[in-house]
Chains A and B, each alone.
Chain A
Amino acid sequence: MSTKKSLRNEAPLLEVKNLQTAFDIEGTDYNAVDNVSFKVKPRQIVGVVGESGCGKSVMSLSIMKLLPKGIGKVKSGEIIFDGINLEKMSEAQINKIRGKDVSMIFQEPMTSLNPVFTIGYQLQEVLFNHLKISKQEARRKAIALLKSVGISRPEKIVDEYPHQLSGGMRQRVMIAIAIACQPKLLIADEPTTALDVTVQAQILELLKEIQEVNDMSVILITHDLGVVAEMCDEVIVMYAGKIVEHTDVDTLFHNPKHPYTRLLMGAIPKMDEKEERLSSIQGIVPSLINMPKVGCRFAHRCPQAMPECFTVTPLLEEVEQDHEVACLLFETSIPREGVK
């Protein structure tokens, strides 16, 4: 993490402040993302981990303003990207930024490409939207982009349809579309989950390479701690819509503090250790409707839960330098947010 120190004083590219995203279920708002704050600095790869249902994807959709209309909405908070508050922008204004300065790669390369248009068409669509560019030039650029993501015979592939490509190739095309306008921030939502491990290695290597060449920041959402260890500079651990731990990757893997992070680490079978039993976390992530109103949201699954964990909501606090944890076990000062 040699780059970490030099980054410390740089102005953040993205700053999320007290983000609260709610879903409307039968007339009541339920917070899928609750009071989340973090910063992404230029050229940094920030990992977001957690189980399914932890709000990782909802958080990224909130940043991109892609929440399903009428159901999900950002209730409060600010998303400041490159000095502009995205929350205050109109749809037309955001369209100019989305796909250009901020872009996204989705989990399923099978469903995120349109099956009835050629690869070239879908690539050029982004270019036409954001750049003043002629048809021939767009096509030339599309081929160059395909080449840059490691697709062999790009002149052929531009005229092919998504079904003619393998999963790994489709994900490469998705990456080509995402980096077409050289974004400053790329949000990759489980980019390799649907892929085989050898293809995953190819795609991760490609992402890292592009990140370095384009000086891009990346938010990498994943549930695979191995991918995080490999790729990220900083890690955010989310549980039930809240950040429970936030630190640099080395500290997280060698000095995890929050019981949830520790259990998550113990649950992965390790390649170089012999263990008969894996640690597991009892129960499941509470659904939005059953979310505990007060207290720590992890308390009922936590082996170290104390009585006050059920009544006092822990806040994300810096317990060591650059190491934030939301857990009463590490709370230094008197908790400020008590029973509501």
Chain B
Amino acid sequence: MSKVSIHKINENVPSQSENLLEILNLKTYYPVKGGFFKRTVGNVKAVDNISFDIKKGETLGLVGESGCGKSTAGRTILRLLKPTDGHIRFDGKDITKVSGKSLREIRKDMQMVFQDPYASLNPMQMIGDIIAEPIYNFSKKSKAELKIEVMDLLDKVGLPQDAYYKYAHEFSGGQRQRIGIARSLALRPKLIIADEPVSALDVSVQSQVLNLLKDLQKEFELTFLFIAHDLSVVKHMSDRIGVMYLGNMVEIADKDSLYAEPLHPYTQALISAIPSPDPRVKKERIILKGDVPSPINPPSGCPFHPRCSMAMEECSRSKPVLKEVKPSHRVACHLY
């Protein structure tokens, strides 16, 4: 991180050298085509102006309901999707606009673990080849060397050596997710974006995979962006948590502070909605009315105001910005 980047992306937020990833005003819109000439008639504002950073070795959790843009954010950071606007700074370098060879180089350092372990592994490929492919892609290693490396990776994620010669269908969901993790580790990346890595798994298997991810984080000094909709899983895994709603970051804070004292009405509703695994705990539940509005025509002002019980007149007029209301606790709400 000694390199001083020429792109100084923001004067107000001094880029701290310990940050591995810095996101500034990131926007990703999907065009909506329509009409006779298939012109762009609108935009799905999947990610609408989010900013955050992740320190080295830290896990940032990203939570929100389906359709809130958390996966799109993850994919945009990996540059699997083209950002519409904003900056992505990775390891001291602005990677928003890089392409070709330099993008390929950056891809080595950031990897993804996908949600569906059934769809993210090629059914026609041997597991050994699946895991070796990223290494093969970036280095000129001999077959024997590759095999040793893959065997080592299999061992690290807790799979037997003979898994090398098997195919994806021979494994259970949890084991497949381990294969996906081994593949993402193959190039020793600095950042792993895990997009709902356990939501397709049973609780008992889910806990195995979560433990594994934690162990690997220590061993390889990984930085995680952990995307999930399950708040208890996110709390278990993360150091800090960002809450997204309709493409916007509504609150971001240290996990203890966020769960002990959620400030945004949406976060409060989200946390109160989690069923507690204790029948003696009787919670005051905030039940949200209605559904998440369409990101094509997001509501004016605060995106949450039509469902918010605390909405004021101001909320429909101006969009609140994310501001620090307590040390390391930022919230985008007019109440604060």
A319 close to B (CB within 8 Å): no
Q: Which residues of B sit under 8 angstroms from A1, Cβ to Cβ?
A: 279
Whether, in the assembled complex, A13 has its beta carbon less than 8 Å from a beta carbon of chain B, the answer is no
Chain A residues contacting B287 (CB-CB under 8 Å) are: 198, 201-202, 205
Cα distance A168–B292 when bound, in Å?
A: 11
Say whether B202 contacts A52, CB under 8 Å. yes
A270 vs B235: C-alpha distance in the bound complex, in angstroms? 9
Indicate which residue in B66, B231, B280, B292 contacts A271 across the interface (CB closer than 8 Å): B231
Enumerate chain A interface residues (CB-CB to B < 8 A). Answer: 1, 51-52, 152, 166-169, 196-202, 204-205, 223-230, 249-250, 253-254, 263-271, 275-282, 284
A141 nearest CB across to chain B (Å): 25
A197-B274, A230-B275, A253-B279 given; A267·B291 CB < 8 A: no
What is the distance, in angstroms, from B213's C-beta to the closest C-beta of chain A? 11
Chain B residues 231 to 256 lying within 8 A of chain A, measured CB to CB, are: 231-233, 235-236
Across the interface, which residues of B come within 8 angstroms of A226, CB to CB? 274-277
- Asked if B276 contacts A271 (CB within 8 A), the reply is yes
Interchain CB contact under 8 A, A280 and B204 = yes
Distance in Å: Cβ of A52 to nearest Cβ of chain B? 6
Which one of A204, A225, A249, A269 lies within 8 Å of B210 (CB-CB)? A269
Query: Which residue from B66, B208, B233, B285 sits with its C-beta under 8 Å from A201?
Result: B285
| 28 A–B pairs (Cβ distance < 8 Å), ordered by A | A51-B203, A167-B66, A168-B291, A196-B65, A196-B66, A197-B229, A197-B231, A197-B273, A199-B65, A200-B273, A201-B272, A205-B287, A223-B203, A226-B275, A227-B275, A229-B275, A229-B276, A229-B277, A229-B281, A250-B279, A263-B204, A267-B203, A267-B207, A269-B235, A270-B277, A277-B214, A280-B204, A280-B207
CB distance from A58 to the nearest CB of B (A): 16
Q: Taking each of B66, B206, B279, which has the highest tally of chain A beta carbons within 10 Å of its own beta carbon?
A: B279
Q: How many residues of B contact A (CB 8 A)?
A: 41
Q: Tell me the complex Cα distance, A277–B211, Å.
A: 6
Give the residues in chain A near B235, CB-CB below 8 Å. Answer: 269, 271
Known A-B contacts A281-B204, A284-B172; the reply to A271 vs B259 at CB < 8 A is yes
Give CA–CA (A167, B67) in the complex, Å: 12
- For the complex with contacts A202-B287, A271-B271, 18 further pairs of A-B residues with Cβ separation under 8 Å are A1-B279, A168-B291, A198-B269, A199-B65, A199-B291, A200-B275, A201-B285, A202-B288, A204-B275, A225-B203, A226-B275, A229-B281, A253-B280, A267-B204, A268-B207, A271-B274, A275-B236, A278-B210
CB-nearest residue of chain B relative to A53? B202
B162 close to chain A: CB less than 8 A = no
Residues of A within 8 A of B207 (CB): 266-269, 278-280
| CB contact between B232 and one of A167, A229, A265, A271 (< 8 Å): that residue | A271
Asked whether, in the complex, the Cβ of A268 is within 8 Å of the Cβ of B273, the reply is no
B219 within 8 A of A: no
| A280 CA / B174 CA spacing, docked (Å) | 12
Interface residues of chain B, those whose CB is within 8 Å of chain A, are 65-66, 172, 174, 202-208, 210-211, 214, 229-233, 235-236, 259, 269-281, 285, 287-288, 290-292
Q: Are B203 and A268 in contact (CB under 8 A)?
A: yes
Give the residues in chain B near A202, CB-CB below 8 Å.
Answer: 287-288
Contact of A269 with B279 in the complex, beta carbons under 8 Å: no
Residues of A contacting B204 with CB < 8 Å?
A: 51, 263-264, 267, 280-281
Q: Which among B210, B232, B236, B292 has the highest number of chain A CB atoms within 10 Å?
A: B236
Q: Report the bound CA distance from A196 to B204 in whole Å.
A: 21
Q: How far is the CB of A269 from chain B (nearest CB, A)?
A: 4
- B49 CB to closest chain A CB (Å) equals 23
| Distance of A284 Cα from B174 Cα, bound (Å) | 9
Query: Is there contact, CB below 8 Å, between A267 and B277?
Result: no
Q: Give the residue name and chain of the A residue nearest to B283 (CB).
A: A230
Which residues does chain A contribute within 8 Å of B281, judged by CB atoms?
229
Across the interface, do B259 and A198 meet the contact criterion of CB distance under 8 Å? no
User: How far, in whole Å, are A166 and B291 apart by their CA atoms in the complex?
Assistant: 8
Could you tell me if A169 and B276 are in contact, using CB atoms closer than 8 angstroms?
no
In angstroms, Cα B233 to Cα A275, docked, is 12
Expressed in whole angstroms, the Cα–Cα distance for A23 and B14 within the complex equals 65
Give the shortest distance, in Å, between B293 (CB) and chain A (any CB).
Answer: 11
Interface centre among A51, A201, A265, A277 (most CB of B within 10 A): A201
Does the CB pair B202–A230 fall under 8 Å?
no
Residues of chain B within 8 A (CB-CB) of A52 are 202
B244 to chain A, nearest CB (A): 12
Question: Chain B: which residue is nearest A284 at the CB level?
Answer: B172
Name the B residues within 8 Å of A225 (CB-CB).
203, 277
Q: Once the chains bind, are A276 and B214 in contact (CB under 8 Å)? A: yes
Chain A residues, Cβ within 8 Å of B276: 226, 229-230, 271
